[in-house]
Amino acid sequence: MYHRHPWEASVDAVRAAVLSEDRPGYVWLETQSADPYGSFSWLAAGAPQMWHRPEHPSGAATLHDWNALVAAWRAQPTWWLGMLSYDLKSVFEPTVPQPQNRRPEEPDFLFFEPSWVAYTNAQGTWLELHPDFSRAKFDAWWANCGNSAAAVPIDGSPTTATREQSAVISPKESSYRTAAESLLEAMRQGSIYEANLCLPWVVSGAQDAAGLYVRWKERAQPPQGGCARFPGVAVVSGSPERYLQVRGRTVRSRPIKGTAPRSANPQADAAAVRELSGSSKERAENTMVVDVVRNDLSRVAIPGTVCVPQWCEVETFPTVHQMVSTVEAQLAEQHDVWDAVAASFPMASMTGAPKIEAMKQINAVEGFARGWYSGALGYIRPNGEADFNVVIRSAVVGSQVRLAAGSALTLAANPQSEWEECQLKVNPLLELVRG
Integer Cα distance of 297 and 295 in angstroms: 6
* Active-site pick, 241, 285, 418, 421: 241
pTM of the model: 0.94
Cα separations in angstroms, 324 against 9, 201, 319, 352: 34, 26, 15, 16
> What are the tens digits of pLDDT across the range 300-348?
999 999 999 999 999 988 888 999 999 999 999 999 999 999 999 999 9
pLDDT band at 2 (very low <50, low <70, confident <90, very high): very high
> Nearest CA to 214 among 34, 18, 47?
18
Segment 227-255, tens digit of pLDDT: 999 999 999 999 999 999 999 999 999 99
Using the predicted structure, report yes or no on whether residue 145 has a pLDDT greater than 90: no
Domain that holds residue 10: 3-434
pLDDT in tens, 284-297: 999 999 999 999 99
Q: Domain total for the chain?
A: 1
Higher local confidence (pLDDT), 118 or 281: 118
Nearest CA-CA partner of 5 in 130, 135, 131, 126: 126
Q: Say which range, 89-103, 140-154, 250-264, has the weakest mean pLDDT.
A: 140-154
Q: What's the pLDDT tens digit per position in 373-389? A: 999 999 999 999 999 99
Q: CA 148 to CA 120: how far, in whole Å? A: 23
Q: What is the mean pLDDT of the chain?
A: 93
Nearest-angstrom CA–CA distance, 88 and 65 = 11
What pLDDT score was predicted for residue 36?
A: 86
Q: What is the CATH number of the domain that holds 400?
A: 3.60.120.10
- In the annotation, is 241 catalytic? yes
Using the predicted structure, report yes or no on whether residue 160 has a pLDDT greater than 70.
Answer: no
Q: Which of 106, 128, 194, 257 is catalytic?
A: 257
The yes-or-no answer on residue 8 being catalytic is no
Residue 54: pLDDT over 60: yes
Task: Please check whether residue 347 is in contact with residue 300, taking contact to mean a CB–CB distance below 8 angstroms.
Answer: no
- Going by pLDDT thresholds of 50, 70 and 90, the confidence category of residue 100 is confident
Task: Residue count of the chain, please give it.
Answer: 435
